[in-house]
Amino acid sequence: MQRSSSSSSAKNLCRKILYHGNQIQPTERRCDVFINHRGRDTKRNISGLLYDHLLRLKLNPFMDSKNMKPGDRLFDKIETAIGHCKVGVAVFSPHYSESYFCLHELALIMESRKKVIPIFYDVKPSQLKVRDDGTFSNKDLQRFKWAIEEAKYTVGLKFDSLQGDWSDFLTKATDVVIENLTEEDIINRE
């Protein structure tokens, strides 16, 4: 019974987004879902597939490799997208914590108190650690460690790329994103 209520809420949210999306020029439309990911690990599989799936549902996802073009100012565009998104999806992967950009984006999402959906892709939460190799400032190191700790203790989804069912996982991840968007929409209306 709750499933049909959730499903009709999701359909209403999609209609609302479509209506508002038609009122705004595509270049001005704010993102609904920010996908934080390590490109070399997930751009061509889980993150890219999730982005395409959300886009087909007329939700407005943001993924740097899909939404940015030559000439865009990297930090400005990403910070604006994070500031305007309703939900963040953090796709944790084996090389995620090696990237300053991934950690910076995650810290921004957490600092702005956005709803975050962690996806643990071929990695366990306990494996996520920020290594101090001397390349981060002390301030960034503290922010990144805090953000990782917050994310690891947030209920998320796990996926094993060698044994998992890609189609089933994509459907499940999309359903979770829609449920969270619906919740955020309800909270913002109250």
Q: Catalytic amino acids?
A: 105
Tokens, residue 122? 């071929």
Tokens, residue 4? 């049909």
Give Cα 114 distance to the centre of its chain. 10
| Distance in angstroms (rounded) separating the CA atoms of residues 141 and 77 | 23
Using DSSP, state whether 184 is helix, strand or coil.
Answer: helix
Using DSSP, state whether 54 is helix, strand or coil.
Answer: helix
| Distance in angstroms (rounded) separating the CA atoms of residues 113 and 95 | 25
Nearest to 128 by CA among 90, 161, 162, 101: 90
| Distance in angstroms (rounded) separating the CA atoms of residues 24 and 173 | 27
Helices (H) and strands (E) in the chain, counts: 8, 5
